[in-house]
């Protein structure tokens, strides 16, 4: 790969995991024939399960990547000065495409594979709108219809996200929409990414020629995002940059996985210690810092596969925030398994701190980050400064600190999030802490995963 060319292969972390991922469980409804079936193109299935390290990127997808990749990486000296950093902070910026985020990396790949499989329409749910916009753009590029269910509170705050998706040819519904049974059965006032995804799953299942697709938590989507870390590694080497920490924000995990896991794979291959890999999550949705490792559903229908994940419970009423892209109850199963083995670290950030970090970054670097990316920037500032407080997978608190340098992925721009920044500057922004009792209730009946090796071998799960 030259400095002016995007990668032509994705890199999987699966060959470097010391234990197999726990198998998915099929809910009773699906097992009895009444569940919603989500059919994947076989290549996406293979990318999810095979322990193959490098996967050729289809030529059509590489050509599409060339419109915006490689993405820039630079040393954020203005940000360093503003936060009093002791060590360099390097930024990998993914916001310079039509979707405004890293989501286009997997949207293009998925649209390509679904189109080859004969699918005519892709349907999905979106939180902050980056994924919906990316999928709308990818469908337009590959000649497919697109239907998006967007979390209603987020769409009302950011109506131009809907406008952009419609400009790209997509049909956009605010969730809960009233178009699906899962929405009609939802509690009044519920606005969640899980519900939006559930509506998309149900709608796709009853629509001829349509298929549901997802942009963040699945293993294949994290594989597609490896272009971020692969590019970053080459760019950092060209700068002779020293670093010992890599940071990304986490909703389900594709952005964090994209920037961090290629560094883990490279270290495993070389037999060296990987950098500290830090997942920055929203304090309103603290699955990696306060959740439990258990089997949980991925959407509000409850008919898709139950996956082993760090979760606060799919029934937990997540407090509202401007970082809708982080408001998902669970983390990807690959991220969760690595978290369980303490191969990655996690820290929680409130939206006030996140947006303030975004404001500081804007003034220092002349780039406006999305609120989600502000969480990663806040964590990077802590790591490069006095150190950040995090939690290990075993529940122990720890101080996370970089001694050489920090690499952080700014996963998207915030130009459609200016209302959040206005609230910050007007002093109207606050953080709503999760309710401990509600967390315990939502996680109480989940089947917990204790021993990965036994579960991976088919020994079942334990409470």
Say yes or no to pLDDT of 181 above 80: yes
28: confidence class by pLDDT, cuts 50, 70, 90: low
pLDDT attached to residue 433: 86
> Which residue, 89, 21, 78, 71, is CA-closest to 51?
21
> Which residue, 131, 313, 142, 153, is CA-closest to 217?
131
Say yes or no to pLDDT of 33 above 50: no
| Tokens, residue 52 | 């193959």
Q: What is the dihedral of CA 435, 437, 441, 443, to 10 degrees?
A: 60
pLDDT attached to residue 31: 41
Higher pLDDT, 451 or 138: 138
Higher pLDDT, 17 or 194: 17
Within the chain, which residue ranges are assigned CATH 3.40.50.1100? 70-99+227-446, 104-215
Angle at CA 343, nearest 5°, toward 338 and 346? 85
Mean pLDDT computed over 423-438: 93
Contacts 24+ apart (CB under 8 A), 433-436: 433/283, 433/284, 433/319, 434/283, 434/284, 434/285, 434/286, 434/290, 434/312, 434/316, 434/319
Query: How many whole angstroms separate alpha carbon 163 and alpha carbon 196?
Result: 18
Angle at CA 157, nearest 5°, toward 370 and 224? 40
pLDDT attached to residue 327: 80
| Tokens, residue 323 | 């970082």
> Which residue, 431, 438, 462, is CA-closest to 449?
462
CATH 3.10.20.30 for the 104-215 domain, yes or no: no
Say yes or no to pLDDT of 34 above 80: no
pLDDT attached to residue 32: 40
Segment among 52-56, 316-320, 323-327, 435-439 with least mean pLDDT: 323-327
Say yes or no to pLDDT of 400 above 50: yes
Q: How far is CA 245 from CA 74, 248, 257, 275, in A?
A: 16, 10, 14, 5
pLDDT attached to residue 128: 83
Query: How many whole angstroms separate alpha carbon 429 and alpha carbon 447?
Result: 36
pLDDT attached to residue 14: 98
Q: What percent of the chain has pLDDT over 90?
A: 78
Alpha helices in 58-192 (DSSP H): 59-65, 77-83, 104-116, 130-141, 152-157, 159-167, 181-184
Mean pLDDT computed over 448-455: 64
Mean pLDDT computed over 344-363: 97
| Tokens, residue 268 | 């495993």
Q: For 230-281, what is each residue's pLDDT tens digit?
A: 999 999 999 999 999 999 999 999 999 999 999 999 999 999 999 999 999 9
Secondary-structure class of domain 70-99+227-446 per CATH:
alpha beta
- Compute the Cα dihedral for 403, 409, 415, 418 and give only its sign: negative
Mean pLDDT computed over 47-76: 97
pLDDT attached to residue 408: 98
pLDDT attached to residue 38: 57
pLDDT attached to residue 2: 53
Say yes or no to pLDDT of 453 above 50: no
Under DSSP, is residue 148 helix (H, G, I), strand (E, B) or coil?
strand
Query: How many whole angstroms separate alpha carbon 343 and alpha carbon 355?
Result: 28
83: confidence class by pLDDT, cuts 50, 70, 90: very high
């Amino acid at each position: 790969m030259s400095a002016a060319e995007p990668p032509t292969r994705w890199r999987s972390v699966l060959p470097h995991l010391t234990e197999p991922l726990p198998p998915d469980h099929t809910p009773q409804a699906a097992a009895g024939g009444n569940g919603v079936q989500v059919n994947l193109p076989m290549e996406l299935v293979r990318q999810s399960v095979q322990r193959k390290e490098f996967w050729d990127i289809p030529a059509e997808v590489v050509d599409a990547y060339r419109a915006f990749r490689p993405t820039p990486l630079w040393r954020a000296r203005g940000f360093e000065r503003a936060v009093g950093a002791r060590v360099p902070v390097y930024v990998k910026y993914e916001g310079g495409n039509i979707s405004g985020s890293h989501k286009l990396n997997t949207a293009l790949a998925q649209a390509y594979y679904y189109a080859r499989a004969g699918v005519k329409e892709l349907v999905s749910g979106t939180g902050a709108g980056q994924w919906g916009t990316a999928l709308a753009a990818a469908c337009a590029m590959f000649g497919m219809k697109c239907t998006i269910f967007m979390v209603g509170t987020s769409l009302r705050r950011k109506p131009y996200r809907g406008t952009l998706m419609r400009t790209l040819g997509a049909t956009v519904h605010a969730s809960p929409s009233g178009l699906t049974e899962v929405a009609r059965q939802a509690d009044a006032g519920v606005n969640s990414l899980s519900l939006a995804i559930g509506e998309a799953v149900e709608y796709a299942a009853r629509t001829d020629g349509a298929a549901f697709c997802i942009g963040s938590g699945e293993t294949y989507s994290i594989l597609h995002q490896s272009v971020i870390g692969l590019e970053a590694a080459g760019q950092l080497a060209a700068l002779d940059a020293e670093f010992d920490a890599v940071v990304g924000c986490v909703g389900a995990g594709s952005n964090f996985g994209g920037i961090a896991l290629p560094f883990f794979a490279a270290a495993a291959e070389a037999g060296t210690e990987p950098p500290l890999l830090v997942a920055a999550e929203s304090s309103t949705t603290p699955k990696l810092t306060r959740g439990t490792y258990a089997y949980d559903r991925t959407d509000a229908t409850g008919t898709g596969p139950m996956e082993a994940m760090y979760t606060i419970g799919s029934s937990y009423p997540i407090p509202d925030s401007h970082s809708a892209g982080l408001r998902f109850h669970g983390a990807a199963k690959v991220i969760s398994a690595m978290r369980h083995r303490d191969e990655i670290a996690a820290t929680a950030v409130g939206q006030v701190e996140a947006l303030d970090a975004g404001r500081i970054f804007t003034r220092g670097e002349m780039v406006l980050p999305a609120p989600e990316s502000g969480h990663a920037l806040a964590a990077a500032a802590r790591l490069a400064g006095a150190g950040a407080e995090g939690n290990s997978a075993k529940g122990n608190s720890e101080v996370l600190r970089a001694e050489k340098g920090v690499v952080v992925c700014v996963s998207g721009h915030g130009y459609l999030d200016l209302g959040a920044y206005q609230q910050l500057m007007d002093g109207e922004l606050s953080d709503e802490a999760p309710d401990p009792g509600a967390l315990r209730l939502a996680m109480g009946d989940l089947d917990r995963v204790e021993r990965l090796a036994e579960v991976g071998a088919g020994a079942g799960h334990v409470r």
